[in-house]
Chain A
Amino acid sequence: MSATISDTGSTFGVLARQEIRNYLRAKLFWFGAALTLAVDVTMLFDLTDDPSSSGSYMIAPAALLGVLGLVVMYGLTRRSDHAAEAAGAVAVPEGTRTLALASAVVVPLSVAILSFIAAVVTWYVHPPAGYIVPPGISNAYVLAQMFGDGVLCAVGGPLLGLLLARYYPKRGITAVASVLLVIATILLQGGLFGGAQPYRVFWFWTYFLTQSPEGGPGQHHFTTHPGNPFLWLLYLVTLCALGVVVAVRHDPESDRARLGKLAIGLILVAVVLGALTMTVGFTESVVNPAVCPSC
């Protein structure tokens, strides 16, 4: 028995390293990583004179590593499936291959963490203008938003690609999925409608600090939107774990009953964390009284 466990662990390790190498060979990943780092450099050296400092940097890693990561991971998963089909009766179960593919997210995660570090340094070296952060809002609040939108979404995108490849391996699905993902994200980013959309925290990507929708050009204020960004981080981590469990559960040879219970447990935890994100600590918008002259 111990020999079997050891063999399984070894197979997983070999496969995980292979999938990490495959992710690193993806041109689309390097395209996204290069642009993310280019954005980081312009931010670090303040080449664009952005008054919000790095307060809105998150769109770069989320889109360039997350959305493009969805395409990369979908391709890797389909390639893994084709290789398994070509090999016929294979010794490695689909669940092990899925876990190995999921481990490849360390690649975009590493770049996203580098980008986050650059954003934190920028935040302190080139502080934002006085009209950006409302009174009483801490730096930790802003950094939590940056980490959730910038780092966890760079991991969540590839995991979404893994799920799509497992459950909806259709032609052109990545193109359609990326379009729908971006539409939903723009609509739920906050600041688009009145009423601050407190339910938006259930989406993968949203702003907690942004400009208010009220007023015309030169009349906007920066404001927080209802929601606790610290709890939201836990919510996003739970969603990532749920994604991996659901992807592994696709394997007909897996222990579906146990994984199903685990998935239901994670869904309940996510719902509770989402509700807590809406209701604990930051339930009201905090508006910066200073007008944003560049909005």
Chain B
Amino acid sequence: MLHHAARAVPWGRVALAAGLVVGLMELVRWNPWVLWPLEGTAVGLLAGAAAWCFDETAAAVVDTSPRGLAWRAAARSPAVLLLVLAWALAVARVGNDAAFGHLEAILVQGLAAVATGAAVACWRRARGVAAPGLLFAAVTVPVATVWALVRPLDDHLTVFPFGTTSTHGWHMSTIGWATAGGLANLVLIAALTDAPWWHLHRAAWAFERKR
């Protein structure tokens, strides 16, 4: 498994993403009132990098091998663990003051982003897409970045709360992120275990295509 992880995971890109996440949060720590949008960028980067870990460009070969998707995904999980550790370290260094007193909420955002990236990538891999993480990262990172910059409709839909956001806004945001993370974990489990309902869904989809 370790041999597979060493060869299959794009370690260079994962290390670059982890380093960027830590660097972005260091900038946030330096001047949170001005550089806070970079926290959203870091969260988007975590989601994109987590998805990227599960890309299998040689899908045509590995999909027919005896090792199933769950085994291969488990083998790649150390890369996700590295991203989680980088995020935990970065958030811990930011500290409660620079995090406007909502350190746990920020930690939840990153963990939910990693879970979402992994779930989307594994779900798409289960559907036969070879490199879903690349497309996911190419869209998620810029979207998270601009959302954190503009914070549109912030009074009604707080995704990346700021220092001026109310406690209620922070609370609702955390509930949203935790829900997204929970759903992502369910999708991940379903995709990796080839859950019966999932299998039926695919069969129905294939049947529709044949018709």
Chain A contacts to B: CB under 8 angstroms = 28, 31-32, 35, 38-39, 42, 48, 59-60, 63-64, 67-68, 70-71, 75, 171-172, 174-175, 178-179, 182-183, 186, 191-192
Contacts and interface: CB of A to CB of B under 8 A. Distances in A.
A114 to B, nearest CB: 16
Contacts of A71: 138-139, 142
B34 A172 contact: no
B150 A174 contact: no
B142 A174 contact: yes
A115 to B, nearest CB: 12
A213 B89 CA distance: 29
Interface in B78-137: 134, 137
Nearest to A64: B146
Top 5 nearest A-B pairs (CB, nearest first) are A175-B141, A63-B146, A178-B142, A63-B149, A35-B152
Contacts of B150: 35, 39, 59-60, 63-64
Nearest to A42: B153
Contacts of A182: 37-38, 41, 145, 149
Contacts of A32: 146
Most B-side CB within 10 Å, residue of A35, A171, A192: A171
Contacts of A60: 150, 152
Contacts, number: 77
A38 B156 CA distance: 12
B134 A183 contact: no
B165 to A, nearest CB: 13
Interface in B137-164: 137-143, 145-146, 149-150, 152-153, 155
Nearest to B16: A176
Given A183-B38, A192-B31, A67 B152 contact: no
Nearest to A69: B142
B5 interface: no
A179 B149 contact: no
B13 interface: yes
Query: Chain A contact residues: over half helix, strand or loop, or mixed?
Result: helix
B31 A179 contact: no
A187 B13 CA distance: 25
B138 A179 contact: no
Contacts of A75: 138
B27 interface: yes
Given A42-B153, A75-B138, 9 more contacts: A32-B146, A38-B152, A39-B152, A48-B155, A63-B150, A175-B142, A178-B141, A179-B20, A179-B24
Contact of B134 (A42, A64, A171, A179): A171
A186 B34 contact: yes
Interface of B: 13, 20, 24, 27, 31, 34-35, 37-38, 41, 45, 48, 52, 134, 137-143, 145-146, 149-150, 152-153, 155
A38 B153 contact: yes
B153 A175 contact: no
A31 B140 CA distance: 12
A264 B134 CA distance: 36
8 contacts: A28-B143, A59-B149, A67-B145, A174-B138, A174-B142, A178-B142, A179-B141, A182-B41
B146 to A, nearest CB: 4
A64 B141 CA distance: 13
A261 B138 CA distance: 35
Nearest to B31: A192
A255 B137 CA distance: 37
A131 B138 CA distance: 41
A42 B66 CA distance: 56
Nearest to B27: A183
Given A39-B150, A63-B150, A192-B31, A31 B143 contact: yes
B125 to A, nearest CB: 17
Contacts of B27: 183
B190 to A, nearest CB: 25
Contacts of A31: 143
A39 B147 CA distance: 12
Contacts of A186: 34-35, 37-38
Nearest to A189: B34
A278 B75 CA distance: 55
B130 to A, nearest CB: 13
Contacts of B139: 28, 71
Nearest to A75: B138
